[in-house]
Structure 1
């Protein structure tokens, strides 16, 4: 007969084998999937399925009411070869991106560096700078329409104070897009500044102090120490700013009152998509615009990721 202690040890080993780390890991995995199920359901129901549906309906002619008529690739052929307004919308979108992304990033970085210094009342300045971002876009665009009013707006009053003739702003085909760009810079610069401030806070201060000890000035320290260490944050800000600028819609709709502006000078891809879908009820053609828009953003994003490794440095 085996000793009692030996039998007890074997039973404990069998119990441990049945409920060992493998089984606990599997149970934990299923628990994780159970917690993820609501989020996955929302993702599939409101993102994946609509995306697949849009790709499918882009091959049809449909006005939301009758039966869809299969067209194949004719929507895409018309869009890319015949639609002058779409080409204008692409150009206007690129105009907006070029006008907002580099200027907004440079302005945000400058403000972040200034607000990162030990200045009196910098907490108040940070709050004031971030406040436009948390304000509703609809409400603030109404205020800025008054500011840009060519007859009695504050912007032309400031120009006249410096002996500069006022311009048409929202009534001019040449100035409607610059007006939207100025508003967008005012609205979104505070958010990017906060991101840059977070990046600056993660840079070890001893590195900059060592540069000062070695005789480097403030400008050299920024370009040789701060800027390279800030490259991951810069890449993130560039990434989100580029995608956000390509998707511009609300500002255009508000400033042009749903018309696209004088001579459609503020027409962007997102606004043109809205018009085709919900004003002209051409669901198939609007879906084709969505697909092309999606591919443009994929190409831009892929190019950013492809060249990021050349200038982004991680500690």
Structure 2
């Protein structure tokens, strides 16, 4: 009888597994057709000399990689230009996004309108906004030089100076991505309960102290996500540089701005593929770019993820020894003695494991709040 019962259960379990595979099959098929197969084809293409116009292809082994890594000075310069762009864009847009999110998270008039206006640059077409900024950067009639002239500063030829073209592109990219970062941080702030902030406010904590010791650690998952997304997007930037570096005519001639000061890896890949039609060499560049992004992402996962707190209890268990004490009397009665340095109670299991310590804590008077 027992064997019959088990045999009757197995078809039901198999049916559930089969239904699960059927549900994920469209997404799995999409990934295989549009992600896995093109990636494998590009990897195979990187070992070929393939001209897009004539269609002729020859297997040349690792010649593309040897030329790219050992003899291509433009590629090495594009790597440093990409690092310059990432360092200038990612921290600035993240800091501005966090600041605007904290400001717009409070009750204020026209808050929804301000949120919409800040997010609008991210959803606008890149070509149109980049063309608008190219007029703003105009050396004679540009708004930016007019502002500099009003303060008695000399005019800057933003898009034709090797020193100014990359900062100009960074300013545009920060303006474009700050709205996205603001919305993501607003979503993260919406998931934080007001209890901890109110408890710290009752104990006399100032706004900066509450933000640094409560809000910022609890926003670590959001910051981790925003950092990954911005890093990957910054390494692949092409369109703003294509507009600011001379448009299509500049790309046909090699582009990259004055003295190739705006030549990033993504833009160099675009030029090799669609201006010089070196498909095999462009495929090798894309493989190297993928490996660079993969290495940086792995470094972030291995190093930064250790400081990401996905729950209040995890934050308490990791950082209770280093964070200031601010426990209101109502909260301290439900916390363990080991969490007395931070206003977040640990899970109930840790309190049960402390049995006697918990009972003694309840019977004793709560510790006085620490001065912030």
Q: Same fold (TM over 0.5)?
A: yes
Kindly state the Cα deviation for residue 37 of structure 1 after the two structures are TM-superposed.
Answer: 2.5
Q: Corresponding residue for 1:287?
A: 283
Kindly state the Cα deviation for residue 217 of structure 1 after the two structures are TM-superposed.
Answer: 0.4
Question: Counterpart of 1:61 in 2: which secondary structure?
Answer: strand
1:45 aligns with 2:33: yes
CA distance in 1, matches of 2:138, 2:56: 46
Instruction: Give the alignment of 1:43-192 within 5 angstroms.
Output: 43-64=31-52, 65-192=54-181
Unaligned runs of 5+ in 2: 312-372
Instruction: Give the alignment of 1:154-233 within 5 angstroms.
Output: 154-233=143-222
CA distance in 1, matches of 2:8, 2:171: 63
CA-to-aligned-CA distance 1:246-279 (integer Å, 9 cap, x gap): 1111111111113221111111101111111111
Kindly state the Cα deviation for residue 25 of structure 1 after the two structures are TM-superposed.
Answer: 3.0
1:309 aligns with 2:305: yes
The one of 227, 236, 249 aligned to 2:225:
236
CA distance in 2, matches of 1:62, 1:148: 39
How much is the aligned-residue C-alpha RMSD, in angstroms?
A: 1.6
Alignment check: 8 A CA contact 2:51 2:279 kept: yes
Q: Corresponding residue for 1:269?
A: 265
Kindly state the Cα deviation for residue 28 of structure 1 after the two structures are TM-superposed.
Answer: 2.7
Question: Whose relative contact order is higher, 1 or 2, with alpha carbons under 8 Å and at least 6 apart?
Answer: 1
CA distance in 1, matches of 2:278, 2:305: 42
What's the TM-score, normalizing by structure 1?
Answer: 0.92
CA distance in 2, matches of 1:59, 1:112: 47
Alignment check: 8 A CA contact 2:89 2:170 kept: yes
CA distance in 2, matches of 1:70, 1:79: 16
Q: Corresponding residue for 2:235?
A: 246
Q: Corresponding residue for 2:292?
A: 296
CA distance in 1, matches of 2:6, 2:66: 64
Kindly state the Cα deviation for residue 309 of structure 1 after the two structures are TM-superposed.
Answer: 3.2
Question: Counterpart of 2:226 in 1: which secondary structure?
Answer: helix
Kindly state the Cα deviation for residue 24 of structure 1 after the two structures are TM-superposed.
Answer: 2.7
Question: Counterpart of 2:306 in 1: which secondary structure?
Answer: coil
CA distance in 2, matches of 1:111, 1:162: 27
More helix as a share of residues: 1
CA-to-aligned-CA distance 1:133-181 (integer Å, 9 cap, x gap): 1111111111111111111011111111111111001122211111111
Question: Counterpart of 2:159 in 1: which secondary structure?
Answer: helix
Alignment check: 8 A CA contact 2:224 2:305 kept: no
Q: Corresponding residue for 2:363?
A: none
Q: Corresponding residue for 2:24?
A: 36
1:27 aligns with 2:15: yes
CA distance in 2, matches of 1:39, 1:201: 30
CA distance in 2, matches of 1:66, 1:181: 38
Q: Corresponding residue for 1:3?
A: none
Alignment check: 8 A CA contact 1:150 1:171 kept: no
Kindly state the Cα deviation for residue 216 of structure 1 after the two structures are TM-superposed.
Answer: 0.9
Unaligned runs of 5+ in 1: 1-9
Alignment check: 8 A CA contact 1:169 1:176 kept: yes
Alignment check: 8 A CA contact 2:130 2:243 kept: yes
Q: Corresponding residue for 2:244?
A: 255
What's the TM-score, normalizing by structure 2?
Answer: 0.78
